[in-house]
């Protein structure tokens, strides 16, 4: 149900600005779009009770016409998304680096709107696709909107914007039959990738667990490109942007992801919605990596190359502020669907670099909004409006909302007193950083971009053993779905350049001979270019491993918002159940009681306990851990309960039971001494186990029938 404005858990300048646009029909008469009160919304106007319907029925026509036009084109990429409102606050003034107003005063809360998304799937596709996640933040600053339109991975597939349509055509469903939906596991994607060695670093990320997050609230965000900060003195430095989730970074297993897609395709969307509704507001710290101008060429990679990251061990991430999402949208279409992000929405103190991917993006986003939202007035849609008043000489166009008064709509003018007037820098006027450019016009790529594998290797080598296994399994899965043998061979050939064990294990899974290390078939150059200029040029990285790249090193000290399944039936022992539940709730977790049927069950003393879900509507894959209180005789011959426990074990989750009666019926009976399996232990041990998220070491040893 849409929230009434008065029920808002929070208020900020943007939410206040949206207030006049919120509409509720509560207590009101129904009207036409022209305000005419409607007397009968159930019957069309007919010639006699049995028809025919009359063309004159303007009420019917208005209603159906509006309905016919309810859909707008979905985003060409990032179509599937979920959004929320929140606030951002800087910890201390960043004046040393930037004059951006919203990064100066720790007492100022800047309203934000955030949209998370998958990239490849259509608007109605599953949340749990193996994919990159979009992480777009619109800061409604006093100096205008600043959009940080990032992803949950710090690098990208390609180095030049001109390849983006090719990349997206390759990953989207194949054009002849529109199969498969929201999946990169098909020929055209891997065909393109296997001919584009610059994508190898990003492929490592996309095949890693980062591509299947447990929650949108448990993933990092990155601006990817190197940007510039400029301070009040006009001094510039390079900057990379990071978002670090306070709940840590966690993922699901691939088998689990696929099953969640069937059990609850809205898993991430619902998780975000419910966390905010229940007041467990998602939080991220905002981090920056600063590189002084004079260090531009200090690294074994080019800062302008979006397929490279700056290891945190070389340039630490300075945490400079916090973002909290504290309010769900009132209307998905009006807000999440109509929000329009653009990396070119800037404020003074922040500027671009010449990263050729970023430069192309700066064209694309306004262009795409024109076809998606249908008019150059998309900035007037409430969610897109700046809280700083907008005045200029742009006029008219479809769906213009503003009524510009006065005679002048041009500059310079005298009839309007010369207004709106330009602002000096001292008055907040934006000026572009005056970077010196002294160059020939060329269609080419810098030689400094030609290291295709070093950081892919760095990423793979920095992963824990289970994470490496997941990458291997992901590649076996994806390439296993590729039908063209030559594509698989090219891909495994490229993997040999990253890590030979990786390549040979993937080859083994595909039943292919292990190829000898091969030179990549790079085709990313013009017809008259010299191929030698586009060959791989490995650069020695300053480190062999970057612990910051492994999710295994993510903080594991909280069970806040974790979903715990409690399996029970009539006759359950109510006492330990109560103690465990109280302890879990006190730590911020959520418990759901799952029983053979809905309604209520009776505990051993005959007291009624409400059931949250039946085994029919629940599934182990939508929970983080499972607890089995004593008194489970009623579940001993329940196949769903046994499957639930086996599957939880297979997905490496914490399992706690007051006694092992029910466990004896499951695969776990053989595994009672395994880490994360707790029988008769106090809640404290279970809480610690849930905080570990997963016991991945189980994976390779077990053949769980689930």
| Contact status: 78 vs ligand HDE (CB under 6 A) | yes
Which CB atom, from 163 or from 186, has the smaller least distance to ligand HDE? 163
Q: CB nearer to ligand HDE: give 355 or 603.
A: 355
Question: What one-character-per-residue DSSP string does 281-307 give?
Answer: --EEEEEEEEEEGGGTT-SSS-TT-TT
| Contact stretch for ligand HDE (CB under 6 A) within 45-53, 315-323, 364-372, 477-485 | 364-372
User: Residue 324 to residues 108, 244, 412, 537, 677: CA-CA distances in angstroms?
Assistant: 14, 12, 43, 43, 34
Give the Cα-Cα-Cα angle 505, 698, 218 (nearest 5 degrees).
90
Phi and psi at residue 90, to the nearest 5° = -85, 145
Binding segment for ligand HDE (CB under 6 A), chosen from 30-38, 146-154, 432-440, 618-626, is 146-154
Q: Which is nearer to ligand HDE, 136 or 546 (CB)?
A: 136
Q: Which is nearer to ligand HDE, 301 or 686 (CB)?
A: 301
Q: Which of 134, 245, 348, 629 binds ligand HDE (CB under 6 A)?
A: 134
465-480 vs 254-263: helix axis angle to the nearest 10? 60
Strand partners, 53: 46
Examine residue 81 and tell whether it contacts ligand HDE (CB under 6 A).
yes
Token pair listed for 497: 């350049």
Q: How far is the CB of 85 from ligand HDE (least distance, A)?
A: 14
Minimal CB distance residue for ligand HDE: 134
Number of C-beta neighbours around residue 641 at 10 A: 25
| DSSP 8-state code for residue 518 | -
Q: How many other C-beta atoms lie within 10 A of the C-beta of residue 700?
A: 9
Contact 217, 272 (CB under 8 A): yes
In whole angstroms, the minimum distance from the beta carbon of 479 to ligand HDE comes to 24
Among 8, 82, 136, 666, indicate the residue that binds ligand HDE (CB under 6 A).
Answer: 136
Q: Are 603 and 572 in contact (CB under 8 A)?
A: yes
The one catalytic residue among 12, 85, 145, 151: 151
Separation of alpha carbons 273 and 84, rounded Å: 8
Determine the interface stretch with ligand HDE among 120-128, 353-361, 459-467, 617-625 (rule: CB under 6 A). 353-361
| Closest to ligand HDE by CB, 144 or 221 | 221
> CA angle, 683 as apex, 681 and 685 as ends, to 5°?
65
Residue among 8, 12, 117, 236 that touches ligand HDE (CB under 6 A)? 117
| Least gap, CB of 171 to ligand HDE (angstroms) | 12
User: Which residues 277-316 are close enough to bind ligand HDE by CB under 6 A?
Assistant: none
CB 292 → ligand HDE: shortest distance, Å?
A: 23
Contact 23, 30 (CB under 8 A): no
**Residue closer to ligand HDE (CB basis): 129 or 691:** 129
Beta strands in 91-185 (DSSP E): 110-118, 133-141, 144-151
Taking CB under 6 A as the binding criterion, the range among 50-58, 361-369, 434-442, 521-529 that sits at the site for ligand HDE is 361-369
Stretch that binds ligand HDE, among 156-164, 286-294, 383-391, 397-405 (CB under 6 A): 156-164
Question: Least separation, in Å, of the C-beta of 631 and ligand HDE?
Answer: 48
Chain residues 569-588 in contact with ligand HDE, contact rule CB under 6 A: none
Q: What's the CA gap between 115 and 268, in Å, rounded?
A: 12
460 interacts with ligand HDE by CB under 6 A: no
CB-CB neighbours of 30 under 10 Å? 10
Q: Which of 58, 122, 164, 477 binds ligand HDE (CB under 6 A)?
A: 164
Say which residues have a Cβ less than 8 Å from residue 485's Cβ, sequence separation at least 6: none
Nearer to ligand HDE, 80 or 476 (CB): 80
Q: How far apart are the first and last CA of the chain?
A: 38
Bridge partners (DSSP) of residue 565 are: 592, 626
Decide: is 338 part of the binding site for ligand HDE (CB under 6 A).
no
Q: Which of 103, 112, 128, 161 binds ligand HDE (CB under 6 A)?
A: 161
Beta strands in 528-666 (DSSP E): 563-567, 590-595, 600-602, 608-610, 613-614, 625-628, 654-657
Binding of ligand HDE by 228 (CB under 6 A): no
Burial of 611 (0-12, 13-18, 19+ CB in 10 A): buried
- Report the C-alpha gap between 656 and 676 in whole angstroms: 8
Residue 354 known to be catalytic: no
C-alpha distances (whole Å) from 163 to each of 156, 182, 381 are 12, 20, 31
| Catalytic, out of 12, 78, 328, 345 | 78
Which region among 149-157, 532-540, 603-611, 622-630 touches ligand HDE (by CB under 6 A)?
149-157
Ramachandran assignment for 596, one of left (phi > 0), alpha (psi -120 to 50 degrees), beta (any other): alpha
Q: Is 159 near ligand HDE (CB under 6 A)?
A: no
Query: Does residue number 149 form part of the binding site for ligand HDE (CB under 6 A)?
Result: yes
Min separation Cβ 91 and ligand HDE, Å? 24
Shortest Cβ 174–ligand HDE spacing (Å)? 20
225 is catalytic: no
* Residue 661 sits in the site that holds ligand HDE (CB under 6 A): no
What is the torsion angle, in degrees rounded to the nearest 10, for the CA atoms of residue 178, residue 179, residue 180 and residue 184?
-70
Of 75-83, 103-111, 278-286, 450-458: span binding ligand HDE (CB under 6 A): 75-83
By the rule CB under 6 A, 379 interacts with ligand HDE: no
Helix H segments across 354-408? 356-372
Q: Among residues 150, 197, 520, 574, which is the contact residue for ligand HDE, using CB under 6 A? A: 150
Least distance to ligand HDE, CB of residue 449, Å: 15
Nearer to ligand HDE by C-beta: 366 or 674? 366
Size of the site for ligand HDE (CB under 6 A): 24
Q: Interface with ligand HDE includes 361 (CB under 6 A)? A: yes
Contact 216, 272 (CB under 8 A): yes
Q: Is 206 in the site for ligand HDE (CB under 6 A)?
A: no
Q: Which helix (H) or strand (E) holds 677?
A: strand 677-679
What's the rounded Cα separation, in Å, for the pair 390 and 417? Answer: 18
- Supply φ then ψ for residue 325, to 5 degrees: -95, 115
Helix%, strand%, coil% for the chain, nearest 5: 30, 15, 50
Stretch that binds ligand HDE, among 69-77, 186-194, 515-523, 546-554 (CB under 6 A): 69-77
Least distance to ligand HDE from the beta carbon of 307, Å?
Answer: 10
Residue (81 or 101) nearer to ligand HDE, CB? 81
Report the distance separating Cα 25 and Cα 38, nearest Å.
14
Of the residues 360, 374, 428, 588, which one makes contact with ligand HDE according to CB under 6 A: 360
How large is the C-alpha radius of gyration of the chain?
28
Residue nearer to ligand HDE on the CB measure, 336 or 620: 336
Q: Which two tokens stand for residue 3?
A: 């929230």
- Cβ proximity to ligand HDE: between 161 and 577 the closer is 161
What residues are labeled active site? Answer: 78, 151
Interacting residue ranges for ligand HDE, rule: CB under 6 A: 75-78, 81, 115, 117, 134, 136, 149-151, 156, 161, 164, 224, 340-341, 357, 360-361, 364-365, 368
């Amino acid at each position: 149900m849409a929230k009434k404005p008065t029920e808002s858990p929070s208020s900020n300048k943007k939410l206040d600005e949206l207030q006049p646009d919120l509409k509720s029909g509560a207590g009101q008469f129904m009207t036409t779009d022209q305000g005419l009160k409607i007397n009968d919304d159930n019957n069309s106007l007919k010639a006699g009770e049995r028809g025919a319907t009359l063309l004159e029925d303007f009420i019917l026509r208005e209603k159906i016409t509006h309905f016919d036009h309810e859909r707008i084109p979905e985003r060409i990429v990032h179509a599937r998304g979920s959004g929320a409102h929140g606030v951002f606050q800087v910890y201390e003034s960043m004046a040393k680096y930037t004059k951006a107003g919203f990064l100066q005063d720790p007492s100022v809360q800047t309203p934000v709107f955030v949209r998370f998304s998958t990239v490849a799937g259509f608007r109605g596709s599953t949340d749990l696709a193996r994919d990159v996640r979009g992480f777009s933040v619109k800061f409604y600053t006093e100096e205008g909107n600043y959009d940080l339109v990032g992803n949950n991975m710090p690098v990208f597939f390609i180095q030049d914007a001109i390849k983006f349509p090719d990349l997206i055509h390759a990953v989207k469903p194949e054009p002849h039959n529109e199969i498969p939906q929201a999946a990169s596991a098909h020929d055209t994607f891997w065909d393109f990738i296997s001919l584009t060695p610059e994508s190898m670093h990003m492929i490592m990320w996309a095949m890693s667990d980062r591509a299947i997050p447990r929650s949108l609230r448990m993933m990092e965000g990155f601006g990817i490109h190197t940007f510039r900060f400029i301070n009040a003195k006009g001094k510039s430095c390079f900057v990379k942007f990071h978002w670090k989730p306070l709940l840590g970074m966690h993922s699901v297993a691939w088998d689990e992801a696929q099953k969640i897609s069937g059990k609850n395709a809205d898993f991430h969307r619902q998780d975000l919605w419910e966390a905010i509704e229940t007041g467990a507001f998602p939080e991220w710290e905002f981090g920056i990596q600063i590189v002084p101008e004079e260090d531009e060429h200090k690294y074994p990679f080019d800062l302008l190359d979006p397929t490279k990251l700056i290891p945190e061990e070389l340039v630490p991430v300075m945490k400079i502020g916090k973002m909290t999402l504290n309010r769900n949208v009132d209307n998905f279409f009006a807000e999440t669907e109509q929000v329009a992000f653009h990396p070119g929405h800037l404020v003074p103190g922040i500027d671009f670099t010449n990263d050729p991917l970023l430069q192309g993006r700066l064209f694309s986003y306004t262009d795409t909004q024109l076809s998606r939202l249908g008019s150059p007035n998309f900035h007037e849609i409430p969610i897109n409006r700046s809280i700083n008043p907008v005045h200029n000489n742009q006029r008219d166009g479809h769906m213009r909302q503003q009524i510009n008064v006065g005679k002048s709509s041009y500059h310079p003018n005298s009839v309007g007193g010369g207004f709106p007037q330009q602002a000096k820098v001292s008055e907040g006027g934006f000026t572009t950083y005056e970077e010196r450019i002294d160059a020939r016009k060329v269609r080419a790529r810098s030689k400094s971009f030609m290291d295709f594998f070093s950081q892919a290797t760095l990423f793979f080598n920095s992963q824990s053993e289970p994470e490496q296994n997941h990458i291997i399994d992901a590649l076996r899965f994806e390439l296993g779905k590729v039908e063209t043998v030559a594509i698989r061979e090219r891909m495994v050939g490229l993997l040999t350049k990253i890590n030979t064990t990786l390549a040979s294990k993937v080859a083994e899974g595909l039943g292919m001979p292990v190829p000898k290390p091969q030179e990549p078939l790079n085709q990313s150059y013009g017809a008259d270019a010299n191929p030698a200029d586009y060959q791989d040029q490995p650069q020695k990285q300053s480190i062999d491993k970057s612990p910051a790249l492994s999710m295994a090193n993510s903080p594991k000290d909280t069970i806040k918002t974790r979903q715990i399944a409690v399996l029970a039936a009539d006759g359950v022992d109510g006492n330990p159940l109560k103690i465990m539940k109280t302890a879990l709730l006190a730590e911020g977790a959520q418990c759901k009681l799952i029983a053979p049927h809905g309604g209520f069950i009776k505990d051993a003393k005959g007291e009624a306990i409400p059931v949250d879900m039946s085994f029919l509507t629940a599934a182990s894959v939508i929970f983080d851990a499972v607890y089995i209180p004593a008194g489970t005789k009623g579940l001993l011959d329940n196949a769903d309960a046994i499957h639930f426990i086996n599957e939880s074990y297979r997905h490496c989750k914490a399992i706690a039971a007051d006694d092992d009666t029910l466990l004896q019926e499951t695969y776990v009976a053989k595994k009672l001494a395994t880490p994360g399996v707790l029988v008769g232990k106090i809640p404290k041990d279970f809480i610690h186990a849930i905080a570990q998220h997963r016991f991945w070491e189980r994976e390779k040893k077990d053949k769980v029938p689930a």
